[in-house]
Amino acid sequence: MGNHSKKAEAYIFDMDGTILDLNFDRCVWHQRLPERVSTILDVPLKVAADIVKNKLAPLKNTLNWYDLDYLSQKFSLDIGEIEIEMSHLIKPRPGAINYLKKAKGSNLMILASNAYPKSMLRKLSLTGIATYFDIVISSHEIGFCKEELKFWEKLQTQVGFSPNKTVLVDDNLTVLRTAKKFGIKNLFGIRYPSSQGTPVSDSEFQLINNFEEIRYLSS
């Protein structure tokens, strides 16, 4: 781990695309959901994919984007059922578990996710990753998604972490930008959130291939 782990007081990890392979979520939302919409509405798959995209677009960066009950109503089908059907794809990214084991030590370990509680519980029970965290929190419990500044304000009030002694690892660049505004200095993105997807490129944040590249720089 190196000395950096002794200086940081808290590590905040995202779940989907950070600890867990985003391939599961991609398959649910970009493959299986359009297939189901295509069948229900009896329209070509491309048309169904556009319907899904158009219904989701206005919800981006809001809690509803992640709310499975709300979205199930919007699409008139049970998205939780689709998640269960595809749950064999839920797995940690390479090296994630080993790093969490090492990072735990004396650091405050926080898992903060936008995942809907039902979905989050399913993933936690299948992977066992909750054991590496002192605090596991869904943005739906906070009342704001992580893309909103108020999420970080409320999380700090509840947990009491010090932003300048915190490391945040998240595959969502909008979340990283919001956390940066909030004052978290040690920010890391993920170059390959999905094992089956293309790499992310961004010049604003350090994008890591694996957690071993995380370095805490005291300010």
pLDDT tens digits along 117-135: 999 999 999 999 999 999 9
Report percent pLDDT > 70 for the chain. 95
Give the per-residue pLDDT at 71.
93
- Spatial distance between the Cα atoms of 45 and 67, rounded to a whole number of angstroms: 24
Q: Which residue has the higher pLDDT, 1 or 7?
A: 7
Residues 126 and 199 in one domain: yes
Residue 27 one-letter amino acid = C
Residue 11 counted as domain residue? yes
Residues 58 and 145 in one domain: no
Residues 63 and 149 in one domain: no
Give the per-residue pLDDT at 177.
97
- Spatial distance between the Cα atoms of 179 and 184, rounded to a whole number of angstroms: 6
The answer to whether 193 touches 18, Cβ cutoff 8 Å, is yes
Give the model's confidence band at 215: pLDDT under 50 very low, under 70 low, under 90 confident, else very high.
Answer: confident
User: What is the H or E stretch that residue 189 is in?
Assistant: strand 186-190
CA diameter of the chain? 59
Residues 44 and 32 in one domain: yes
Average pLDDT, the chain: 91
- The size of the chain, in residues, is 219
Residues 101 and 174 in one domain: yes
Give the per-residue pLDDT at 24.
96
Q: 128-177: per-residue pLDDT in tens?
A: 999 999 999 999 999 999 999 999 999 999 998 999 899 999 999 999 99
Please, what is the Cα angle at 68 between 62 and 71, to 5 degrees? 75
Q: Which residue has the higher pLDDT, 65 or 13?
A: 13
Residue 35 counted as domain residue? yes
Alpha helices in 128-195 (DSSP H): 139-142, 149-159, 173-182
Classified as helix, coil or strand, 198 is coil
Give the per-residue pLDDT at 2.
38
Give the per-residue pLDDT at 151.
97
Give the model's confidence band at 7: pLDDT under 50 very low, under 70 low, under 90 confident, else very high.
Answer: low
Domain housing 43: 24-88
- Number of domains into which the chain is organized: 2
Residues 209 and 147 in one domain: yes
DSSP string of 75-141, one letter each residue? HTS-HHHHHHHTGGG--BPTTHHHHHHHHHTTSEEEEEE-S-HHHHHHHHHHH-GGGG-SEEEEHHH
Residue 41 counted as domain residue? yes
Residue 77 counted as domain residue? yes
Mode of pairing for the β-strands spanning 108-113 and 186-190? unpaired
Residue 219 counted as domain residue? no
The answer to whether 79 touches 68, Cβ cutoff 8 Å, is yes
Residue 218 counted as domain residue? no
Give the per-residue pLDDT at 1.
37
pLDDT beyond 60 at 9: yes
For tokens 């578990």, the residue is 97
Give the per-residue pLDDT at 216.
73
Give the model's confidence band at 218: pLDDT under 50 very low, under 70 low, under 90 confident, else very high.
Answer: low
Residue 135 counted as domain residue? yes
Q: 75-91: per-residue pLDDT in tens?
A: 999 999 999 999 999 99
Residues 68 and 175 in one domain: no
Q: Which residue has the higher pLDDT, 122 or 6?
A: 122
